Structure 1
Amino acid sequence: MRAHEAGALHGDLGNRGPAWLRTPQDVNALVPQLWPRTVTRTGAGSLQVGGVSVADLAAEYGTPAYFLDEEDLRGRCRDFAAAFAGADVYYAGKSFLCKAVVRVVEEEGLFLDVCSGGELAVALAAGFPPERIGFHGNNKSRSELRRALEAGVGRIVVDSFDEIARLTELARAAGKRPGVLVRVTVGVEAHTHEFIATAHEDQKFGFSLAGGAAFEACAQILDEGVLDLHGLHSHIGSQIFDTSGFEVAARRIVQLQAQIRDARGVELPELDLGGGFGIAYTTQDDPSTPADLAKRINKIVESECELASLRVPRLSIEPGRAVIGPAVFTLYEVGTVKDVDGIRTYVSVDGGMSDNIRTALYDASYSATLANRRSDAEPILARVVGKHCESGDIVVKDEFLPADVHPGDLVAVPGTGAYCRSMASNYNHVPRPPVVAVRDGAARVIVRRETEDDLLALDVG
């Protein structure tokens, strides 16, 4: 059987065929593109990561828990740095940020993108060089901008005329000249969920290209002479597989650069095309490698600059999900298994929408596998659900699991490094899980598990 056929068990229901066509061997199979690089199955069937059994990890750290394959994370950082040699690769910290990840990003030579005062605080607390930090956000407060100026953040991506005025006032008062990029809404309709598409005109980010606001923003910054305009920024969305959107965005933003050159006599030295590169959550996803992305994006920028008779600016990109997403999986313990009148089997785990809101929020698809043992039972079509008081508390909508799955079993869900812990909540007053990094046979907690004492500490009533 071909790999993609075996892997179809760990993807969307489409293309799988009925459950009776599947075998126990299929259910036990791991699809490499979905899992961190050091995840394997032992002879007894238990998953292991970084040489450590997930059963041992669960016994020591409990469930639910996020497990980070540190070697995988470092490898993906290196892949992007090598593929985009000569460009600036910013890790998009909003996907997941903690001090340990910040240090890995620095050690592997990447820059860092933050989008709030809190993310900036984490970066600075970890000792990340502020000149290698980019600061995003559509509504940065005066205090956030002031802190960025005081810290010496390398570039600030301005998003509105109000922000330009705020930052200009603060910079003038502080005697600073911060480097800025103007975020441009290029009017590209990215092929992704509407909530994570960010370059169409009717949304909150950036300055409209079509309406002339982007050119006006650049002209205003140049006229004021307080902020140092480094270049333009575009971000078309997230979980994108088709590079045609980047081609259209590059063409339009290079045309704006040419317009600025012709009108103001200034060739802006930088161009940031953002991130949003997709990853494989199921076997229906086919992501590009960093090398393929670099080849296509560089070709697009070079050809558009040649047509506009512009020098090729220094390129920046901002991968987040593509770096951290595949490096993490979430491990759960099964609490109940319920067959609902032969319609579907519900496998309830000890986490849910408080540790992964993406299924409910974006209708995101995930995969799952029995993690603590090998099973010879026939597959059944199951829905992995959480423990929260919401019918929409779904972790994995449809997945084939062995018919003998039972309470006490461990279930692992791959691809949970991006936005799962970042968006985690205390819904139903459930403490958030820990993040545990594993490498070379050793594990360490990098974000500890919350406790009930943590919850009560904020309740001053």
Structure 2
Amino acid sequence: MSQQEVTQQPVWTQLPEHVEIRDNHHLYIADCDTVALADTYGTPLIVYDEQLLRQTIQSFHQAFQRLQVPYQISYASKAFCTIAMCQLVYEEGCGIDVVSGGELYTALTSGVPASAIHLHGNNKTSEEIRYAVESGIGAIIVDNFYELALLQEIAAEKQKNVNILLRISPGVEAHTHEYIATGGQDSKFGFDLASEQAREAIVQLSDMPNLICTGLHAHIGSQIFDAEGFAVSVERLAALYAYGCERGLPFQVLNVGGGFGIRYTDEDAPPVAQTIEGIVAAARAAFAQYGLILPTIWIEPGRSIAGPAGVTLYRVGSQKRIPDTRNYLAVDGGMTDNPRLALYGAKYHAVYANRADAPAQDTWSVAGKCCESGDMLIWDAPLPNPQPGDVLAVFATGAYNYSMASHYNRIAKPAVVFARAGQAQVVVERETWADLLRQDRPLQR
């Protein structure tokens, strides 16, 4: 990109709708000055627009309500799981999907009723299954034959009946990155449909009296922008659903999973309402073909709720120009709070929060502070030339950022705040260096 091309592309033209630039040239989120937030709470800092979280959830409700179908929304908490987030999504009428004992403990501690929680996972431990059964959670999504037998054993031991869904691998690969595709036949997740594993699971349920199978589940991938893959998955699941009904299973639920895409850059344009319309239309047609009543349609949005509402603030540090090669600017975070570029080439958009309407002057690649060449956040971003003290705001970092944060290089995890109507509330305290040593024990001499 030439210097002329860069200066003709002001950064502010690509800002998300929920943020604004005011007369002081600062970036504002939910009426909060992000520069002031960085000064008050330090950096890196993840800032969530609380009202946008709530509005996004309500947009899912409204899409289903317009179509007048039975439905349930369960927030996929792996995207961002904290006590405050679990409280918020439940307040907005969502159940919560968890994939570990830790996520289950978080959801229960937040006050969410056990009946509103569903447990996922391809390798649930016996400890996690016992915890879920003893807590009386709403459903367990069973992933494989090993788990099916283990769950029946534990349920019988506890003298409890457990609601389950069977997770199916429908052989559908949506348009997504290979590392986050989950619905194809060659996947670690679910009972394979093509090889008759799914039908065999249904047959085995007749000998498992403590397991009440209420439906089927499939998740075909992530960052999906149309209903085509969902529609194929629904058609295949409908045939299996009909088989389960013939076998006398009390099916009521078709869970199509999540994976709804969000806008990370101007290349992305997620039509969530149209996607839901496509899913419902496909379900109506497929179940009518088998003479079946339309089941309750479950979805599991995670990224699409948490992702757009999160913005990460970093303090700019060192800079490096390599003539005729690349310009680097380094920030005080990196792959320890956002490994997504390193994992699967994720793209982001960023501005300087303290001069958010300044035009781009050059391309700068944003590097983290870890001792890894792959510790990059953004490649070749059009930005003004950096100055000491700049605060870099990276958009759409609300999902799979804090959740994947690590302690590599013994870097402490960032604080998280929820912003609303000009007020900010800390929902996750910043870790200290002392926190990093809490579990360490010295050698005994």
- Does residue 44 of structure 2 align to residue 64 of structure 1? yes
Within the candidate set 218, 233, 236, 2:217 is matched to 233
Within the candidate set 222, 231, 235, 1:247 is matched to 231
Within the candidate set 313, 316, 326, 1:334 is matched to 316
* 1:19, distance to aligned residue in structure 2 (A): 4.2
Within the candidate set 164, 172, 179, 2:148 is matched to 164
Superposed CA RMSD? 1.4
Q: Which amino acid aligns with 1:212?
A: E
Q: Which residue of 1 aligns with 2:406?
A: 425
- Unaligned 5+ segments in structure 1 are 1-16
- Does residue 413 of structure 2 align to residue 413 of structure 1? no
For residues 141-187 of structure 1, the C-alpha deviation after alignment (integer angstroms, 9 at most, x for no partner) is 11111111111100000011111111101111111111000000000
State the secondary structure of the residue aligned to 1:326: coil
- Does residue 139 of structure 2 align to residue 155 of structure 1? yes
CA distance change for structure 1 residues 73 and 154 in 2, over 3 Å: closer, same or farther? same
Within the candidate set 299, 305, 308, 1:317 is matched to 299
* 1:29, distance to aligned residue in structure 2 (A): 3.3
- Does residue 26 of structure 2 align to residue 46 of structure 1? yes
Structure 2 distance, partners of 1:375, 1:245, is 39
- Does residue 270 of structure 2 align to residue 293 of structure 1? no
- Does residue 242 of structure 2 align to residue 261 of structure 1? no
* 1:48, distance to aligned residue in structure 2 (A): 1.0
Structure 1 residues 41-440: aligned runs within 5 Å:
41-85=21-65, 86-262=70-246, 264-266=247-249, 268-289=251-272, 291-374=273-356, 379-403=361-385, 405-440=386-421
Structure 2 distance, partners of 1:375, 1:308, is 57
- Unaligned 5+ segments in structure 2 are none
State the secondary structure of the residue aligned to 2:10: helix
Structure 2 distance, partners of 1:156, 1:345, is 49
CA distance change for structure 1 residues 235 and 19 in 2, over 3 Å: closer, same or farther? farther
8 Å contact from structure 2 (residues 417, 424) kept in 1: yes
Higher alpha-carbon deviation: 40-49 or 372-381: 372-381
CA distance change for structure 1 residues 456 and 252 in 2, over 3 Å: closer, same or farther? same
Structure 2 distance, partners of 1:375, 1:259, is 59
Q: Which amino acid aligns with 1:302?
A: R
Higher alpha-carbon deviation: 341-350 or 55-64: 341-350
Structure 2 distance, partners of 1:418, 1:19, is 33
State the secondary structure of the residue aligned to 2:129: helix
Q: TM-score of the superposition, structure 2-length normalised?
A: 0.96
Q: Which amino acid aligns with 2:263?
A: A
CA distance change for structure 1 residues 459 and 267 in 2, over 3 Å: closer, same or farther? closer
CA distance change for structure 1 residues 440 and 376 in 2, over 3 Å: closer, same or farther? closer
* 1:25, distance to aligned residue in structure 2 (A): 6.9
For residues 114-147 of structure 1, the C-alpha deviation after alignment (integer angstroms, 9 at most, x for no partner) is 0100000000001101111111001111111111
* 1:21, distance to aligned residue in structure 2 (A): 2.2
State the secondary structure of the residue aligned to 1:355: coil
Structure 1 distance, partners of 2:125, 2:195, is 26
* 1:23, distance to aligned residue in structure 2 (A): 3.0
8 Å contact from structure 2 (residues 364, 380) kept in 1: yes
Q: Which residue of 1 aligns with 2:10?
A: 26
Q: TM-score of the superposition, structure 1-length normalised?
A: 0.92
8 Å contact from structure 2 (residues 10, 360) kept in 1: no
8 Å contact from structure 1 (residues 130, 153) kept in 2: yes
Structure 1 distance, partners of 2:320, 2:26, is 24
Structure 2 distance, partners of 1:368, 1:327, is 14
State the secondary structure of the residue aligned to 2:437: helix
Structure 1 distance, partners of 2:249, 2:426, is 49
State the secondary structure of the residue aligned to 2:202: helix
For residues 7-41 of structure 1, the C-alpha deviation after alignment (integer angstroms, 9 at most, x for no partner) is xxxxxxxxxx64412337712334325xxx2x211
* 1:200, distance to aligned residue in structure 2 (A): 1.0
Structure 1 distance, partners of 2:230, 2:3, is 39
Structure 1 distance, partners of 2:296, 2:12, is 46
Q: Which residue of 1 aligns with 2:428?
A: 447
* 1:377, distance to aligned residue in structure 2 (A): 5.9
* 1:307, distance to aligned residue in structure 2 (A): 1.4
Structure 1 distance, partners of 2:111, 2:192, is 36
Structure 2 distance, partners of 1:196, 1:300, is 24
State the secondary structure of the residue aligned to 1:261: helix
* 1:268, distance to aligned residue in structure 2 (A): 1.6
For residues 192-246 of structure 1, the C-alpha deviation after alignment (integer angstroms, 9 at most, x for no partner) is 1111000111121100001111111122113322200101000001111132110
Structure 2 distance, partners of 1:182, 1:300, is 20
State the secondary structure of the residue aligned to 2:394: strand
Q: Give identity over the alignment, percent.
A: 45
8 Å contact from structure 1 (residues 279, 325) kept in 2: yes
8 Å contact from structure 1 (residues 257, 267) kept in 2: no
8 Å contact from structure 2 (residues 225, 275) kept in 1: no
Q: Which amino acid aligns with 1:254?
A: A
Q: Which amino acid aligns with 2:303?
A: R
Structure 1 distance, partners of 2:208, 2:406, is 43
